[in-house]
Structure 1
Amino acid sequence: MTIIIRCVNITKSPVEVGEYFLGYVPVTGSTASSLRWDVLKKYIPSLTVKPLSTRKWESRIDAIRPIRHQIGEIYVALLDISSNESFDAMVRHEAECLASAISDFKFLCCLITWHNILNHINVASKLLQSVVTNLSSAINELKGVLKYLESYRSDDGFASTITNAKKLAEILGVDSYFKSAQNVRPRRQKRQFDYESEDQAVQDPKTRLKDIAAQQLSDELQVLSHSIDETVSLTPLNVLQHVVEIGIDCYPNVAIALRILLTLPITVASSERSFSKLKLIKTYLRCTSSKMRLVDLAIISIEHKLGENLDYKELVPEFAAIKARKV
């Protein structure tokens, strides 16, 4: 995990939105068995099966895409593992259970549904992976995804899902119909008695202050709307630039609201880029480097634009004086 701050610099003209890397937070992970992986690679020529990562959104579509397009090869690989005596009984049993699960027609329908939804979401996510992306432009990108999801929930979308699932069922050689669910006794839920009193208005001074600030923000927006040129693109960054030129003291609540809007985190692209940079820095020649040294090298590499403006004639003597050893 990475620590990244996002801020708005109103001292420059025009106003800039920037991100700055601060460091890494160590996490732990695990690897799969090499023997089972060799069996999968034998049957899967192109796309490889990837695990689901909780730190990377794109890993969801990366984990589903190989199963969607190569489910026949994966099914055969699982059957091979389940009948291979070189594996222990637990591994063979798990492979048999997985093969039975992915051959279910309900699973095939869910696989098609998730692949179609995540594929469209992933395209929008890549378009949003920019350091200059703000909440306003993100809403425009997500409107197309929302329109697709609304159309996908229709009868035509469900019919196309069933059709594609039947094609996968033919590849696996299984029946293309939904199995009847087993009868399960419903769980008895504890009744909740109506002993609570009616909701009353909160008289908290902090809540009152929020209401006052909201009213002031509404008044400032009404006044500001008459001073903005409608022919100019009304992006949050342009509006904040206009407020800075007029004076932040005139619209203090609008300036704060716009800075919060521009610094809201939209994607995790910056964190993913920092891990890619760390992979380039931590080579086999630097495998024994300490954590602090790797973080310092990553900061220099990621924030290279700031590093280009540093005066090394002043920094080198200062660094040498700190590291000088007394004889």
Structure 2
Amino acid sequence: MKALNKIILTSKKPKERNEAEGLKKRLESFSFVLLLTVQCKILGEINIASKSLQTESIDLMTAYDLLGNALLKVTELRWSFEEVCSEAEEVCSKWGITITHEFIGQRARKVKKHFDELCEDQRLTDPKSNFRVTIFFPMVDTIVSQIDNRFKGMKQVIDAYKIVHPSFLASCSDEELRCEADNFVSRFSDDVTPLFKAQILSVRNAFQSKLKDFKEVKEVATLLLIENSSLASTYPDVLTACFMYLTVPVTVAKAERSFSKLKLIKNYLRSSMSQQRLTDLALLSIENDRARKIDFDRIIDVFASVKSRRKSF
């Protein structure tokens, strides 16, 4: 707003002043403030899930719960239009924006009525109702449908691997566990053996008290592989199922960041850079945390000893 006021007061070009005045008038309208308020509330609910989904340690079940909570909050926002309007009015009062006309109404179009028509079209003459129906509802519904469509496959993956999740192991009965084990073996017959059913029952009976305190599959794998390493050879199929679950990516955000980083490195020096060097620079840039911990002096000494052309006596 300060930049627009400066242009309006100091610019010598009438076109710039007119454009700045029109933009300022639009920014000071209640409909614009309301639109910003709606977007802030929607993005605020989604931001928590978005940040968490980009972490390396997140698993499918946690990601699914976060997305479910975000979807629920956005869905509830659909029926809170009046509350959003009240919040936008508070913002207008705080910024000194006068709400003389809350919404700028449009002239109603007159449609020709034929002689055999018995009813008339019901058009939204109230600008506030028109904003709610034409802008607010489509915005919220689009976000809800996109979240549901893009992550609906995650539910199927979770159902397929729920047999190794500690919450299911601690609460299910022996009959339910046997049924799920049979389904898991039939679905992943190339990865696990029919002994998986007996192994998962043994794990549940041996560590049922500890499984009640676990929240992630990673804790189950740690229990069998590290804390009780002697039992790793006893439950190989259970560990295989845990590893299969943990290696399923939640999102492709890391791959997308890799391409973004590669684009930053690929600058005007690309013409004099070989493909191998570009790949190595991208790897160093992506894994910069590990690269900073490397002892370069030792690597240089090893490289010098390997590439030395003089014989050492």
What TM-score comes out, normalization by structure 2 length? 0.47
Q: State the TM-score, normalizing by the size of structure 1.
A: 0.46
Structure in which a larger fraction of residues adopt helix: 2
Instruction: Look at both structures and tell me which one has the larger radius of gyration over its CA atoms.
Output: 2
Structure in which a larger fraction of residues adopt strand: 1
- By relative contact order (CA 8 Å, sep 6+), the higher-ranking structure is 1
